[in-house]
Structure 1
């Protein structure tokens, strides 16, 4: 294996191509959704895309484990796991908003070392891997510097996903960014797409909670490879056992400011 995971990245791109081939034809097609046991929606696109990715991995990486949102865990024996979220942002997909994405990650001993965010409709693909710069459609991207929280653009999928204590902490951060008509901005919606925008220098902070490993594993190499940082709400790096709270920063120097604002 090369230091930069070249072979694994090539497979990840093939997985993203396969998922895109299943998802794009169903976009704005009136595809129906069902409710899973946790009441979250799932569509034919979610299931078909994950199944297509699994077929590739079962042939080419049979020794690796798989963790997928729709079809669960397949145990491996290599110490590596491919983590798949075929449609991160299923509600956005269902209502015709092209800000969802396919997430593909590779974990080694529980740590994210490779990630892809693929937006099948706009055909934007961010790719990050340990030891190499993050790219958007093959071209390197960088996060931007942020002098203060009052200058930041803050994004989150929805404050409704926070419990009461988390909502209080998030609102304290939001007030620091944009309270009292300051210059900072807040954007809602976007799911994984927000992290691609952060990696490309358009967003400064993404703050979320309640995520599963298939929601966040791919984001870590992408943000960090572009010069940013990703941690939980205590400032700890993310692995497969993290608690699902996320602070992604384009400028890592703002971490202490965010943690202080959130109390």
Structure 2
């Protein structure tokens, strides 16, 4: 099975309606260029640090502007459209403490909803130069990993910070995933250090394609994201990579025979063994206890 995939890089602002329009324009162009599967970045709908302003725009999944536009585009353009994520209200968004999901949504050709996925791992970190994030203060983490069995291949879901947890991707690969997805809004600081190596590692260790649409540039809310959207093959080769800022459409042919070839050469999914772990403490006098 071979198909053309697209990863759309964006620089989403604070206005959900405008971001949805930008998404539509870029998705239409990717489809015009022959993409059968199109992925947008994490937080396609808006990057907004002002929590009050963010909540004012929140809707539930049935009424979300980005989700509605994606459904319509998948139906009209006859494509698989994967919104990398957008903020979705679980409770009344106007209530202080109301729950929010960082949710990915995948539509099939015809506009049918295939699956959603709520980001599992929250980006709660303290970086150099005073950069600090507490995603768990706004978002409710997901609790279920998902693989979608599609006619074009089996696709595993992840979002941004999830990429640092290889057990998630290994579980998906063992469940048959041939394509791993990592839509993201990586910070520039962490992206420069780790983005490419993490994506290539997830591809290599699982013998799978990795498609990662990213946010890139300086956003209206003041943050800066790393960009460099990327598509990686199962041998770890970078098939396409975007620049560090601004809109861009990446295209690559996804040939699933490359997955089977990589896993046949290095069958680490089959060769993995169960083991126990023992911590050995060095005692005084050099005798282990």
Q: TM-score, normalised by structure 1?
A: 0.29
In terms of Rg, which structure is larger? Answer: 2
- Give the number of the structure with larger relative contact order, counting CA–CA contacts within 8 Å between residues 6 or more apart: 2
Q: Larger % of helix: which?
A: 1
Q: TM-score, normalised by structure 2?
A: 0.27
